[in-house]
Amino acid sequence: MTAAARGGPAAGRPAGTLLPTTVIGSYAVPEWLGQLKNDYCQRRISKSYLDEIHEMAIKAAILDQERAGIDIVSDGELRRDNDIDYLLARIPGVEIPQRAKADYFDYYEAEVAHPLPEPADLGLGLGLAGDFRFTRQLTDMPVKVSITGPFSLSRRIRNTAYADPADLVRALARLLNAEAAELARAGARLLQVDEPFLAGYPEDIALAVEAINIVTDVPGVHWTLHVCYGNRYARPLWAGHYDFLFPAVQDTTVDQLALEFARKGDEDLRLLEKYQWDRGLGLGVIDVKTDQVESPAQVATRIRRALRFVPPEMLSVNPDCGLRHVRPEAARAKLSAMVAGAAEVRAELAGHR
């Protein structure tokens, strides 16, 4: 049973919007912001100063998305050093012996030496609900929040606590589920699990699916699962195809898959047909590993190709992954092109009805 079937929004989109446009999560980090984050890492500025900077940057990121015409926005994940540390550093029981970093984007060396506490033992949660509340008050648009998945988090932890590494993944999943429930209580309806490391460990897909289902067991939420081939430093970390997702991913309870196609090409779209994926698809139409801006026509072409495999009612349009490594001016232009391309196809579809 999918989350939507349990009462979540039918397709995770603003009412009546065909081919809604959204982002995967992270937004362009300007060089100066990276520098300020480093200044904080080296204790040149205080935490409260950095918090204010982040809040200003988030306001700007939301404004950029709104002006580009994005239908479902995010806070740009601008508070997060990278896709892993923001959560790892907040999970009780995850030890990070060395918190000083030369560069904010570096990963912490994290360790779990004792079994993680169960959610019931937690106090105020991991803080994502507070982030959501801040974003919610800034915009009238639907807001999406992404959570790095338990499998990927576990890959950055040295585990000496669990004899079976799968138990660490499950324990992380339970904590993330509690955070998702907290987000739902705060009013979040569009949540996403990101598994950026999964493509590197295709043999673990069954475990990842099991853990994702633990995380997403929250009523009233539309869930997206985002799987890409890595976007660290704007480079793919892995090579291959999405074959490994199927058929296992059919067993997830997510409402939508968000996958990258712009960089890799649309060869893997056939998998959706082959395995009769009958839920939503977040179609990656923007290559986030280059500053070269796509034209609206390119975007429209990519959407039209996807429509051969996915009905329009099930299709959302997004970049391949987060825009973190794209220069701000390129990020703005790419989002605008994406919105224009989607509008072009939307108009065509309207004409045929």
Residues at the site binding another protein, with contacts judged by CB under 8 A = 31-32, 35, 38, 102-103, 105, 200, 202, 230, 232-240
Closer residue to another protein, CB minimum distance, 144 or 156: 156
Tokens of 198: 């999964």
54-58 CB contacts, 8 Å cutoff, 24+ apart: 54/78, 54/79, 55/134, 57/33, 58/134, 58/135, 58/138
Closer residue to another protein, CB minimum distance, 52 or 106: 106
User: CA-to-CA distance for 70 and 56, rounded, in angstroms?
Assistant: 20
Nearest to 174 by CA among 121, 127, 225: 121
User: Smallest gap, in angstroms, from Cβ of residue 45 to another protein?
Assistant: 14
User: Smallest gap, in angstroms, from Cβ of residue 291 to another protein?
Assistant: 8
User: Smallest gap, in angstroms, from Cβ of residue 230 to another protein?
Assistant: 8
Contacts of 131 (CB under 8 A, 6+ apart): 75, 79, 145
User: CA-to-CA distance for 168 and 147, rounded, in angstroms?
Assistant: 17
User: Smallest gap, in angstroms, from Cβ of residue 206 to another protein?
Assistant: 17
Closer residue to another protein, CB minimum distance, 31 or 164: 31
The residue type of 274 is K
Q: Which residue has the tokens 């987060």?
A: 322
Tokens of 240: 């291959």
Closer residue to another protein, CB minimum distance, 187 or 240: 240
User: Smallest gap, in angstroms, from Cβ of residue 105 to another protein?
Assistant: 8
User: Smallest gap, in angstroms, from Cβ of residue 31 to another protein?
Assistant: 5
Closer residue to another protein, CB minimum distance, 219 or 240: 240
Tokens of 144: 């999406």
* Residue 17: burial class (beta carbons within 10 Å; 0-12, 13-18, 19+): middle
User: Smallest gap, in angstroms, from Cβ of residue 239 to another protein?
Assistant: 5
Within 263-318, residue ranges assigned H as helices are 269-274, 296-306
Closer residue to another protein, CB minimum distance, 152 or 316: 152
The residue type of 343 is A
* Half-sphere CA count of 27, side-chain side, radius 13 A: 30
Tokens of 173: 């999943």
User: Smallest gap, in angstroms, from Cβ of residue 123 to another protein?
Assistant: 32
Closer residue to another protein, CB minimum distance, 44 or 67: 44
Q: For 168, list phi and psi in degrees, rounded to 5.
A: -65, -45
Closer residue to another protein, CB minimum distance, 6 or 101: 101
